[in-house]
Amino acid sequence: MGKILGCPMKRTKGSGLVKWAGGLLALSLMLTPAQAQASDGTSYVYDGYTYDFYGNAKESPAMFLLERTISVDNLQGIPLSGVNDVCTSQDGRIFIIDTLESRFNVFDENGGFLYSSKLIRTVDNKIALAEDGSQIMLNAPEGIFIHEKEKEIYIADTGNKRIVVLDLDTYGLLRIINEPADLAGVSEFRPSKIAVDLANRIYVVVQSSYEGILELTGDGEFSGYYGVNTPMISLADYFWKSIASDAQKEKMSKTYAPAFNNITLDGEGFVMAVTYDLSAEDMVFRLNSKGENVLREEGNTLVVGDIWSMNSSDTGSQFVDIAVTDYGTYALLDRTKGRIFLYNFDGELLNAFGSLGNLKGEFKNPTSIAWLGSKLVVSDGTLNCVYVLTPTAFGQAVLEGNRSYYFGHWDEALVSFQQALALNANYEAAYSGIGKNYLMKDDYETAMYYFKMGNNRTFYSKAYNGYRGGWLEDHFLIVMVLFILLVAAVVGSEVRYHKQSKVKQKAAMKLLNSRKGRATE
């Protein structure tokens, strides 16, 4: 079976997808261990696709399949009604924020229940009290972040307008960050999503704030607003505003910068953010220290999710959350079509899969996504569950390939991408990946072949540059001789032309003189 799947199948229209889906199902049943299946024993198989260079959607096996669902059944009687954010720790715990029940729930990586609380306790398990003596209860929290470096949990206690910091091991209270006294701007301090970087700076997203991401110091003092989210300005607006008088302008609706909607940190400590505001110019951000967007978009498409719209009311993909691996590959969660888009650090679309619907594994209102090792954890606010998705053989190969490439392990990357290619011969990202690895090894000719297959012109050009340089070096003598011959030919023809024209001139002068002589006679 593996052998059959290993050889590249000839894909015909129509039957190709069925073959692949069937092959994938068989492969996943065969290769994945027994526990890597949904609790009812069946695996949900997503239909995946990517975009080729020409913007055509190319069928592809999905990179992930449903492993298990964590729902109210896993909670031992505790209600679950508004899953809003999900987060994972490095030791494999899954943290779920339930906005409607004002709770945070903790599970182990197999969905086993570990902890759940709305009342915050101290580190030694006593009921913690706030400064005014009241108990510390969560109130409609919207976000959670695990700060591995300091072993802390940050919970955005949105309803109480504060951030609660807990200990990662005991879930005991460490400190509370209230609204900073010197908070500038007009945004209300209603923290919704949080990220904390390696320097302990706290980045807070306030929904519908047009001032950017709120940046706090580690002690909770206001430090500034961060990140630029430029609005799109239509030409018509520009025209009308340019001819309007000041009084008219005052009555016109102002164009505000769109809000950031979710935030996370990548492996290098850059803040990555998404927005689903339709007026925003960019949808995905990788912010440098100046707050500018430095996201790489070197793939076939820009990092926008779906590139075609079905009709005029189709707004395109709207990303509610982003999850980044330490090797720069990130997953974007789209709420309009319930899809998950995976991009590598270069912005190449690796895979898109998922859909809205009522089947197990489909989404109603996806809210949050996080990586759990190489698995994905996705929460849904309406279905009130968390899906744990595990990579398929294809997904494993692609992820491994990108990880090895990112860390410079060319040989391992090559093997992984070849595996991916064996499972999907139409996969341009794998051709490109193989080509890049040959390029790194200075095997320019092979690299050129693979870049051509992967339709990657920029890298083909780089490989060709190396190839051409080598060719010129090898054939330096011939090239030089040809060049000298060419120069000699040009100079020679010039010289001959001059001689000829001089001869002609002399002849003409002779003729003229003889005529003159005749005339004088």
Partner 1 sequence: MKATVKEKLSYLKQSVFHPFDAFYEIRFRGKGSVPLAVLILAIFGILQCVSYQYTGFVININDLAAMNSISIFMTWVLGFVLFIVSNWSVTTLLNGKGNLGDILKVTSYSLVPFMCTLIFQVFASNFIIEEEAMIVYVITGIGIVWSLFMLLAGLCVIHEYGFGKNLIAILLTFVAAAIILFLGILFFTLIEQMVLFVISVGQEFFRRL
- Residues forming contacts to partner 1 in the complex (CB under 8 A) are 53-54, 452, 457-458, 460-462, 464-465, 468
Q: Please, what is the minimum distance in Å from the beta carbon of residue 479 to partner 1? A: 12
Return the closest-CA partner of residue 21 out of 3, 48, 40, 39: 48
CB 397 within 8 A of CB 114: no
Do 102 and 140 contact (CB within 8 A), yes or no?
A: yes
Residue 56 CB, nearest approach to partner 1 (Å): 9
H helices within 441-475, ranges in order? Answer: 444-453, 457-474
330 vs 464, beta carbon nearer partner 1? 464
> Nearer Cβ to partner 1, position 282 or 346?
346
Closest approach, Cβ 61 to partner 1, in A, equals: 22
Question: How many alpha carbons fall within 13 Å on the CB side of residue 328?
Answer: 18
Phi, psi of 32 (to 5 degrees): -80, 140
CB of 502 to partner 1, least distance (A): 25
DSSP H helices in 69-184: none
Which element (helix H / strand E) includes 477? Answer: helix 476-520
Residue (465 or 514) nearer to partner 1, CB: 465
Tell me the one-letter amino acid at 122: T
Assess contact for 145 and 154: CB atoms under 8 A.
Answer: yes
Nearest distance from C-beta of residue 471 to partner 1, angstroms: 10
Tell me how far, at minimum, the Cβ of 472 lies from partner 1, in Å: 11
CB of 458 to partner 1, least distance (A): 6
User: Whole-number minimum distance, CB 462 to partner 1, in Å?
Assistant: 7
How many other C-beta atoms lie within 10 A of the C-beta of residue 317? Answer: 22
Residue closer to partner 1 by CB (options 44, 444) is: 444
Read off the DSSP letter of residue 181: T
Q: Which is nearer to partner 1, 32 or 301 (CB)?
A: 301
Per-residue CA distances from 150 to 66, 176, 197, 221 (Å): 32, 15, 11, 18
Alpha-helix residue ranges (DSSP H) falling in 7-77: 15-31
**β-bridge mates for residue 511, sequence order:** none
Q: Burial, 86: exposed, middle or buried (Cβ in 10 Å; 0-12, 13-18, 19+)? A: buried
* DSSP strands (E only) in 12-93: 45-51, 57-70, 83-88
Q: How far is the CB of 342 from partner 1 (least distance, A)?
A: 25
* Structure tokens belonging to residue 139: 């109130």
Phi, psi of 468, deg, nearest 5: -65, -40
Secondary structure of residue 121 in the 3-state scheme: strand
Other residues' Cβ atoms within 10 Å of the Cβ of residue 186: 8
Q: Which of 110/461 has CB closer to partner 1? A: 461
What is the closest distance, in whole angstroms, from the C-beta atom of residue 50 to partner 1 in the complex? 16
Residue with tokens 């590249």: 8
**Cβ atoms 442, 435 nearer than 8 A:** no
Q: Which is nearer to partner 1, 30 or 479 (by Cβ)?
A: 479
The nearer residue to partner 1, 149 or 468, going by C-beta atoms, is: 468
Nearer to partner 1, 361 or 454 (CB): 454
Q: What angle, rounded to 10 degrees, do the helices at 428-440 and 410-423 form?
A: 160
Helices in 323-456 by DSSP H: which ranges? Answer: 393-406, 410-423, 428-440, 444-453
Please state the closest distance from residue 498 (CB atom) to partner 1, in A: 22
Q: Is the distance from CB of 108 to CB of 70 less than 8 angstroms? A: no
Length of the chain: 521
Residue 13 or 518: which CB sits closer to partner 1? 13
> Least distance (Å) from partner 1 to the CB of residue 457?
6
**Quick one: 457 or 502, whose CB is closer to partner 1?**
457
CA distance 196 to 203: 6
Of 54 and 238, CB closest to partner 1: 54
